[in-house]
Amino acid sequence: MKIYRKLVLRIADQKILESDDYEYSGPILSLKGGGSSGTTTTEPWAGQQPYLANVYNQAAGLTETPMRYYPGQTVAGFTPEQRAAQEATTTRAMAGNPLMGQAQGVMGQTLGGEFMKPESNPWLEETYNKAAGGAIRKFQEGAMPEIRRAAVGAGAYGGGRQGVAEGIAGRGLAEELGGMATQIYGQNYQTERERQNAAVMNAPTMAAADYADIGKLAAVGEEKQAMDQANIDAAAKAWEFYQTEPWNRLGMYSNLITGDVGGTTMSTGGGK
């Protein structure tokens, strides 16, 4: 079938003065109705046709090549540092902290009243003995001889007045020793109890400190793992690019050649 792009016809003798045509062998749309028939044919510009055919041929070839999933590793595994930190953490957690056991022991002794006994601190008892010895010597070498000399001078040695004076002096010594014991034992006990209670409260903090170095090691492993994952992601992205690149290139090519650059429409009609 001959398709005319341009036709100049002299009406008088039906002579063709000028024409631009080509042979067409493609599909034809046939319209019929009302006792008449006609045909309308629309096709792209001839310059487009070979390129469009090329697009469809390439698309057909690409559809026969299935896409493949990225064949490489997609998740970064644990680094040596992370595995070492995990093992160290497991070992440490299973073994426990000996300080916690000691802290619990001190707490048990505290609740049991063990530290209320003076003999719990032999050095403290020695401190008291030295201080008390000085007071006793002062009593024996000073107060008692003075009382006796006074009794002799009064001609009442061994009498009731001497006994009363010695009793008062002895009571004074006992009060002095009691006050001394209260000060030495009580103050030292209070100070020691504060230290022990502080140690009990600090035991969990000391236990947590064991994990500080492990945590640093784990952090190094996490940084390395993040870098490994970034490299994997980059490789997977590159793989995806090369998988879809032919389709993307074909799509851009198709967009370029399928613009509205004109075309040819031909209609023919028939009578009844």
Q: What is the mean pLDDT of each run of 10 residues along the chain (272 residues)?
A: 69 74 64 53 74 80 74 80 84 74 75 68 74 80 77 74 78 81 76 77 75 80 85 87 84 73 56 46
The per-residue pLDDT for 28 is 57
The per-residue pLDDT for 265 is 60
The per-residue pLDDT for 24 is 65
Percent of the chain with pLDDT over 70: 78
- CB of 14 within 8 A of CB of 239? no
The per-residue pLDDT for 227 is 84
The per-residue pLDDT for 271 is 47
CA distance 73 to 107: 54
The per-residue pLDDT for 26 is 62
The predicted-structure confidence for 59-99, as pLDDT tens digits, reads as follows: 777 777 777 767 888 777 888 888 888 888 788 777 767 77
Annotated domain spans of the chain: 80-235
The per-residue pLDDT for 259 is 61
The per-residue pLDDT for 272 is 45
- SS3 string, 167-209, reads HHHHHHHHHHHHHHHHHHHHHHHHHHHHHHHHHHHHHHHHHHH
